[in-house]
Structure 1
Amino acid sequence: MHIYLYLYRIVFLTGMLLGCSQAKSQNSYTGEDGYRTWLRYELVDNQQLLQAYKNQIQQVHLNTNSPTMQAVEEELLRGLTGLLGTKVESSLKLNPNGTLVLGTPENSPLIASLNFNEKLEQLGTEGFLIEEKNVEGHQCIVIAANTDLGVLYGTFHFLRMLQTQQNISDLELISVPQCKLRLANHWDNLDRSVERGYAGRSLWEWGTLPEYAHPRYTDYARISASVGINGVAINNVNADARFITTQFLKKIAMLADIFRPYGVKVYLAINYSSPVTLGGLKTADPLAPEVIAWWEKKTDEIYSQIPDFGGFLVKADSEGQPGPKTYGRNHAEGANMLADVIKPFGGIVIWRAFVYGERQADRVREAYDEFVPLDGKFADNVVLQIKNGPLDFMPREPFSPLFGALPHTNTMIEFQVTQEYLGNANHLLYKGRMFKESLDADTYAKGKGTTVGKVLSGEAYDYPISGMTAVVNPGTDRNWTRHPFVQSSWFAFGRLAWDYNLDAEQLAEQWIRQTFSNNETVVETIKKIMFLSDEAGVNYREPLGLTHIGTGIHYGPAPWSNRSKRFHQADDYGIGFDRSENGSNAVEQYFPPLNEIYNDIDRVPEKYLLWFHHVSWNHQMKSGRTLWEELVHKYYDGVKAVRQMQQEWNTLEGRIDEQRFSHVKALLEIQEKDAVIWRNSCVLYFQTFSQKPIPPGLEKPEFDLEYYKQLEHRIYISE
C-alpha cells in the first residue's frame, strides 16, 4: 500500500486517541460544520442503551492483515470511541464480557469455526451477516462475510445501528446488495470547476497529486463505502481527453490507491475522439484498425497504472459530444470496440443513453427510438446508463420507457443527487421519495409487478451487469454539499442502490438520527420538513407535468424563453405537450396498459397530465377545479409548503447546533423568496394565455410580469 496511506493512518489514530477525552467534555453542539456527514459517531445520549452497548462491546477481535481490514479496525475505533465515550481495545483474545468478532473464514479462525457455511453462500462477494453467537463459551456479536469488503460493509451497517440507537441484542441479519454497480458520477473538470456542482471546487487537487494525498480523499472513500457505493467516475461526461494522458493517469492512480481499501473502483469518462485529439490519428472510427490499436495501447497503459480500473464511461453523439455516428457507425458498434479492448482486463463500458439532437420534434422519444432497435447487439460487458426519466432530470418525470424495453442489454439507472433543476445548493429538498417513485414504477414489461427496481437488480432479466448511478456534487465546501440537506439525497441514493426496497421515510429517519440528533422531537420535525420539501419543489416550479421552465442555468424561472415554450406550449386554448397518439405518440413507447392510461386524458395521473397532453384551461380536474385554477393552486401550494418548512425549522432552535440551524434558516429564507418568484413569474406569464383571474383568496403578485422577466437577467447568475 502507498506510504501516504500509512502516514494518514498514523495521524488518524494519534489524533483520535488524543481527541477522545476532549470530545467528551465538549458540548456535542460545538463545531458542527457538516464535514462528518452521517458519520458523526456522537456519544449515545440514551444512558440505558449506552450501558447496554458498553456491556456488549468491550473489545474488538479481528485480523488486520489487509488494507481493507485495517480500514475496518480504524472505522471501529473511531466509531466506538465516539459512540461509547470510552476506548475499546482491539485484541485477538476473547473478552468474556463482550466481544465484537469480525472477519472471513480466510482471515479469522474463529469465523471459520462458527459453521456459517450455508449463510455465507448467500452473501456473494459484498454481502455480510451480523449475528449474536456463542463463541468458545463467550456471547459475542459476529460480523462475517466472504470477503474483507463484505466485513467493511457490515461494520458500517453495525455502526449505523448504534448511531440510530437500535437494540443490538439477539441480532440475526443478512444483507446482500441487489445491484452489482453502485456508482457516483462526478462532473469534475481539469480546471477544478464542477458542472452542476454548487459546492466549491473539485475535490481532486490535480496540482498536488500524486505527491500529496489530501486526507479528504480517504474521508470521501469512507463516506462512499458507508452507504455501499462501490465505484466513482471522477470526471465530467463532457470529457476532456487529457484525463487519460500519462500525466493524469499517475495522479488518478493515487486516488485509486486510496479508494481501493474501501471497495471503491475508479472509472473514467472518455472523449470518443481521443485517438484524434491525443493520438494524432485522422479518424476515431471504431472499426478502423489503427483506432482499435490506439485504444488497446491506451487501455494497457491505464491498467498498468490502475490494476483494478473499473472501466470507461462514455457520452457519445449527444449535446455536441463526438461519437461513432460521425463515422457512420451505430452506438453498439461504438461501444463494442471499447468493450472488446477492455474485456481482457475485466473492465466494462458504461454507455450513456442520454442522446438528443434536432432530429425529432419531441426530444423524449429519442433515446428509446435510438436504442431499442439495438437491443441484443451490445457486448456483455457494456451497460447502458439511462436517466431515470426520458428527458433530463426534471423535478418530476415518468420513468424512462427504456426500462424493461431492453431484455438483452445490460441496464443501469442514472439519478441526480445534485440539485441541477431543484434550486442548486440553495434549496432544501430531499430526493428519497423521488428516487423511489422511479424505482417502484411498474413497467409491465413482463406483466404487472415488473418494477424499474426489478429491472435494475437483474430480477426481471438475467443481466450480467446492472445497477444504479447518481450525479453527485461534493466539492471543497467544508460540508461537502453546501446545503446540508443535499447530503440526505446522497445518503438515500447509496442505500437504495444497495437495496431498492428500502423505504424513503426510513432512510430519512436514519439520516436525521446520524446527522442531527436521536431526539424524537428533532427527528419528527426534520422528517416532516423533508417530506414537505419534494412536492413543494415540484409545485412552485413545474407542477402537473410541466418541464424545462427554468433559465439557461436551470435556477430561476423563464417560462417566456424559447426553449421553455417548446416544452409547455401554452396558448389561448391550454397548456402542455401532446405526447398522445394524436401528438408525438411518445405514449406508444410504454407497455400496456400504461400506454393506454397515459394516452387517455381522463386516466393519466394528474402529476403527469401536462407531460402527455395539451389540455384546455377549462378542463375539469379531480379536485373540481378547472385546469387553470388547479395549476395556480399548485404554484401557491408550493410556496405555502416552503413557509411551513420555515415555521417547522424555527422550532428547532436550541435543539440542534447553532451553526447548522442558522445556516439552514438563512437558506430557507432564500428558498421562500425564490419560490415566490417562481410562482409569480409562471402564474402571471401563463395568465397572458388563459386570460383568467387568479382564484379568490390567493395573494396577488407584488409586481407585474415585466418585473419578473427582468429578474432573470439581474439575479440568477451561475457561479
Structure 2
Amino acid sequence: MKSKFLFVFISFILLNSASFATDPLSSDGDDGYKLWLKYEPLTDASVKAEYLKYAAFIGLSGKGEIAQSAGQELQKGLKSLLGKNVSVTNSSGNKTGGIVLKLEPAAANNQQQEAYRIQLSAGNIVVSSESESGILYGTFALLRHIQMQRSVKSLSQTSSPKVRYRMLNHWDNPDGSIERGYAGSSLWKWYELPECVDPRYEDYARANASLGINGTVLNNVNASARFMSQEYILKVAAIANVMRRYGIRTYLSVYFAAPKTLGGLSTSDPLDPKVRAWWADKVAQIYKEIPDFGGFLVKANSEGEPGPQDYGRTHADGANMLAEAFKPFEGIVIWRAFVYKADPNADRFKAAYEEFVPLDGKFDPKVIVQVKNGPIDFQPREPFSPMFGNMPKTPLGMEFQITQEYLGFATHAVYEAPIFKECLDSDTYVNGEGATVAKVVDGSLHGYARTLMAGVANTGNARNWTGHPLAQANWYAFGRLSWDHQLSSEEIAREWTELTLTRNQKACAHIVGLMLRSREIYVDYNTPLGLSRPWMGVHFAPEPWQNKGSRPDWTAVYYHRADSVGLGFDRTATGSNALAQYQPPVQAQWIDPDKTPLSYLLWFHHVGWDKKLSTGRTLWEELCTRFYTGADSVRWMQQQWELAKSNLDPQVYTDVAQRLKVQHREAVWWRDSWVLYLQTFAKKPIPTAFEPPKQTLEEVKQSVKVYLIR
C-alpha cells in the first residue's frame, strides 16, 4: 500500500534495522551474510568419507556461463564441506569416483527443461538435466543434501518446478529507499551503475538460484518512469549481466504514463497508435541491451497510479498494448490485480474480483494477472482471494509478501511458510473438490501455459540481508515453495535451520518448533479471530481507533467495525455479500457464524460481544484470551531460543535474543491497545485470569503518537 508517510518513516526504519546490525569488520562470528550457503565442514565422519569417494573430479559437459557457474559452485562447496580441492574437467570420459554435471538433449517444454535428476551411475554421482539451468538447480540440491549430512545412499532424486516463472518483486526506489523494506537500503546502487557492479549482486543471484528462483523485478511497483530511460536501461543491463550467469531473468516495473512523462506524448491512451509505437520502440530498446529481458510488471489504476482507466479503457486494453510490444520477444507482461476504488459504500474485499473477473478471456496470451494471496492486503491471516478459480481463461499468478509489512517489520519473528501453505492448499471447489489454489497457480486446473509465483522481497543492504536473522527463512521458504508447493512448512523449516543455524538435532527441534508456532502466536496478539487492520500509515503501530483518512478504507475502523453490539465485518448476504464471490461449497464453510472456523470468524461476521463460541467462551472472553496468551507466548519463544543457545553462533544467538525481547514488549503493546480500545465498546471487565494493562487507553494512545512522530 502506498503511504504518504513513507519518507517520514524511512529514517526510523533504517535506524531500527541499524540498531541490530552487525559490523563484519569487528566480528569473528556468523554475521548472516552467507545465508543458507555456508558450506560448513562436515562433522559426521562416516558421511564425509562417503562423499570423499566421489571427490576425484568434477565433470562438466555444458559450456555456457550457467553451467560454468554450476561447476564453480560445486567446486567451492566441496572445498569447504570436505576440505578438498576438486578440479573441474570438461570431459569425464570413463573415469569414476567423481561428480558429473551432465547436459542431456533438451525437450520442448520450458518447465521440464529446468528439471534435474541426481543419481549414482557408473561409479559417479551424476547430476543431469536438459538445460544448464537444470544442472545449476541440481548442483545446489546436491550441495544442500551434503550440507545436511545426508547419506549418499539416500541421494537419488528427481525434481521439476511446478511453476514456470518464480520471481522476487523488489519494491526498491531509485533513491535507495525500499517501500516496505526493513533491512536497510536497496541492494541496487543506481548512482554507481553501470560502471561499478557490486560483488553482492552475484551472492544475491547465487542465493536465489539455490532455491530455483529464476526472475527478479528490480524496482518498485509504484514505479518511476526513469527506468525507461536509456541511462537506467544501461544500469539494469549491468545487473542483468550478473543475474544471467545464474539463470535469472531481469524484469522491470513500469510507470503506465511514461509515454507522456518521459516520451513527451500528449497521451498515454493504450489505444492510441503513437502510444503503442512508443512502447514497441521502448521494448526493442531494452532488448538491444538485455537480450534475455523478462518483461514488465505493472501496477495501474491502483492507489493513485495512472492506468488505462484514465482514458476509459480496461485493464485488458492496457495489458494487451504492452503484450503487443513484446510479440517479437520472449518477455511477458505481469499485470497486478491489486486495485480498489475509493467508494465509501463498497467492500474492498470485493474490488479485484469485480474489476477482473468480467475480463476473463480478454487478455493476450502473453499476459499473466498477478493476484495477492488474500483479497485485502497481506494480512497476518486472510482467506484466499476469490479470484483464484474464477478466471479459467486467464493465467493467474500468485503474489505473496515475504517482507513483513504487517508482521512486525524486522523485530518480530514470524515464519511465513504456513501463510503461503494455508493459501496454496485452500480448495476453491471449482469443478469439484480438490481444486486447490496451488492447482490454479501451477496451471494444472485450467491448463495455463504460463504460470507464476512472485514474492515481495525482504532483502536490503543489511549485512545479513533481511534485518531479522530468522526472516531469512521466509525468503528461503518462498523459493522452495515456488519450486514445489507440495513441500511442508515443517520440512522447509528444518532444512533452513540445519543449513543456516545448527545441525544439532535437539537444538534444531527447538528452533523449528518456535518457527512453526510463530505465526499463530503473532496472530493471537495482533489480529485474532479474523480481525484485519490495514490503513494508510506505517502499517505497524497498534492504532485500532484510527478513524481519519482521505478515504474510508484507509482507516482502521473500516475493517474491524467495532460498536456497542459487537465486532467484525459482515460479508454475508445481510452485509456486503462478498462471500458470494466464492463457490457454494466455500460459502458453506463460512456463511454460518456458528460453523465458521474461529480463525475466519470476524472476516465474515459481525459477532455480538456475548456470543458463545465453540471454545465455551464469549467473544469478549475469547478475544482477551487470545490477546493475552499470544503476548505471553513470546516468552515461550524466548525459552525455546535459549534452549538452543549452546549450539548456536553467539552472534546470531544474541541478535535474535535481543529481538525477541523487543517482540515481547511490542506484543504487550498490541495486546493493551486492542483490549483497552475494544473494552470501550464491550463494556466488560477483563477476565480475572488476566492482569489488567498497567496503562490507560489514553496513555497507550500517547505512546502510539510518540512512535508515529519519530
Query: What TM-score, normalized by structure 1, do the two folds share?
Result: 0.92
- What is the CA distance between 1:597 and its match in structure 2? 2.4
Distance 1:219 1:151 in 2: 18
- What is the CA distance between 1:58 and its match in structure 2? 3.0
Secondary structure of 2:151's partner? Answer: coil
- What is the CA distance between 1:239 and its match in structure 2? 0.3
1:74 maps to: 72
Tell me the alpha carbon deviations over residues 471-521 of structure 1, each in whole angstroms, 9 at most, x when there is no partner.
012111000001011110100000000010001100000000000111101
- What is the CA distance between 1:63 and its match in structure 2? 3.7
Choose the corresponding residue for 1:35, options 33, 36, 40.
Answer: 33
User: What letter matches 2:452 in structure 1?
Assistant: G
Tell me the alpha carbon deviations over residues 343-385 of structure 1, each in whole angstroms, 9 at most, x when there is no partner.
2112111000000121352101000011110000000000000
Distance 1:334 1:504 in 2: 38
Among the aligned pairs, what percent are the same residue? 48
Secondary structure of 1:76's partner? Answer: helix
Q: 1:515 to 1:550 in 2, by over 3 A?
A: farther
Q: Are positions 1:430 and 2:403 aligned together?
A: no
Q: Are positions 1:520 and 2:505 aligned together?
A: yes
1:646 maps to: 638
Q: Are positions 1:569 and 2:561 aligned together?
A: yes
Choose the corresponding residue for 2:696, options 681, 688, 704.
Answer: 704
Q: 1:643 to 1:716 in 2, by over 3 A?
A: farther
Choose the corresponding residue for 1:612, options 601, 604, 611.
Answer: 604
- What is the CA distance between 1:652 and its match in structure 2? 2.4
Distance 2:92 2:296 in 1: 46
2:186 maps to: 202
Please say if residues 300 and 308 of structure 2, whose CA atoms lie closer than 8 Å, have aligned partners that are also in contact: yes
- What is the CA distance between 1:556 and its match in structure 2? 1.7
Q: Are positions 1:46 and 2:31 aligned together?
A: no
Distance 2:286 2:279 in 1: 10
Distance 2:670 2:283 in 1: 48
Aligned length: 675
1:665 maps to: 657
Tell me the alpha carbon deviations over residues 373-424 of structure 1, each in whole angstroms, 9 at most, x when there is no partner.
0000000000000000000000100000000000000110100000000111
Q: How is 1:135-174 mapped onto 2 (pairs within 5 angstroms)?
A: 139-169=123-153, 171-174=155-158
Secondary structure of 1:692's partner? Answer: coil
Tell me the alpha carbon deviations over residues 19-63 of structure 1, each in whole angstroms, 9 at most, x when there is no partner.
xxxxxxxxxx94300000000000011112111121233321114
Q: Which has the higher contact order (CA 8 A, sep 6+)?
A: 2
2:15 maps to: none
1:16 maps to: none
Choose the corresponding residue for 1:124, options 112, 132, 153.
Answer: 112
Please say if residues 111 and 164 of structure 2, whose CA atoms lie closer than 8 Å, have aligned partners that are also in contact: no
1:679 maps to: 671
Q: Are positions 1:594 and 2:586 aligned together?
A: yes
2:527 maps to: 542
Choose the corresponding residue for 2:285, options 295, 301, 306.
Answer: 301
User: What letter matches 1:610 in structure 2?
Assistant: L
2:543 maps to: 558
Tell me the alpha carbon deviations over residues 63-106 of structure 1, each in whole angstroms, 9 at most, x when there is no partner.
46211111011101111111112222223446866211112136
Distance 2:439 2:30 in 1: 39
Secondary structure of 1:98's partner? Answer: coil
Distance 1:336 1:94 in 2: 51
Distance 1:326 1:717 in 2: 35
Q: How is 1:214-253 mapped onto 2 (pairs within 5 angstroms)?
A: 214-253=198-237
2:318 maps to: 334
Q: Which runs of 5+ in 1 are unaligned?
A: 1-28, 107-116
1:313 maps to: 297
1:8 maps to: none
CA RMSD in angstroms, aligned pairs only: 1.6
User: What letter matches 1:486 in structure 2?
Assistant: A
Distance 1:524 1:493 in 2: 21
User: What letter matches 2:99 in structure 1?
Assistant: L
Distance 1:121 1:347 in 2: 16
User: What letter matches 1:78 in structure 2?
Assistant: K
User: What letter matches 2:405 in structure 1?
Assistant: E
Please say if residues 112 and 161 of structure 2, whose CA atoms lie closer than 8 Å, have aligned partners that are also in contact: no
Choose the corresponding residue for 1:57, options 47, 55, 58.
Answer: 55
Q: 1:64 to 1:463 in 2, by over 3 A?
A: closer
Secondary structure of 1:345's partner? Answer: coil
User: What letter matches 1:626 in structure 2?
Assistant: T
Q: Which runs of 5+ in 2 are unaligned?
A: 1-26, 548-554
1:479 maps to: 464
- What is the CA distance between 1:661 and its match in structure 2? 0.5
Q: Are positions 1:287 and 2:286 aligned together?
A: no
Please say if residues 183 and 460 of structure 2, whose CA atoms lie closer than 8 Å, have aligned partners that are also in contact: yes
Please, which moves more after superposition, 215-224 or 81-90? Answer: 81-90
User: What letter matches 1:274 in structure 2?
Assistant: A
Q: Are positions 1:503 and 2:470 aligned together?
A: no
Distance 1:446 1:121 in 2: 27
- What is the CA distance between 1:717 and its match in structure 2? 5.7
1:20 maps to: none
1:185 maps to: 169
1:421 maps to: 406
- What is the CA distance between 1:305 and its match in structure 2? 0.9
Q: Are positions 1:365 and 2:350 aligned together?
A: yes
Please say if residues 60 and 92 of structure 2, whose CA atoms lie closer than 8 Å, have aligned partners that are also in contact: no
Query: What TM-score, normalized by structure 2, do the two folds share?
Result: 0.93
Please say if residues 64 and 70 of structure 1, whose CA atoms lie closer than 8 Å, have aligned partners that are also in contact: yes
Please say if residues 551 and 557 of structure 1, whose CA atoms lie closer than 8 Å, have aligned partners that are also in contact: no
Q: Are positions 1:278 and 2:266 aligned together?
A: no
Tell me the alpha carbon deviations over residues 256-291 of structure 1, each in whole angstroms, 9 at most, x when there is no partner.
111001111111000000000001111100001111
- What is the CA distance between 1:121 and its match in structure 2? 8.8
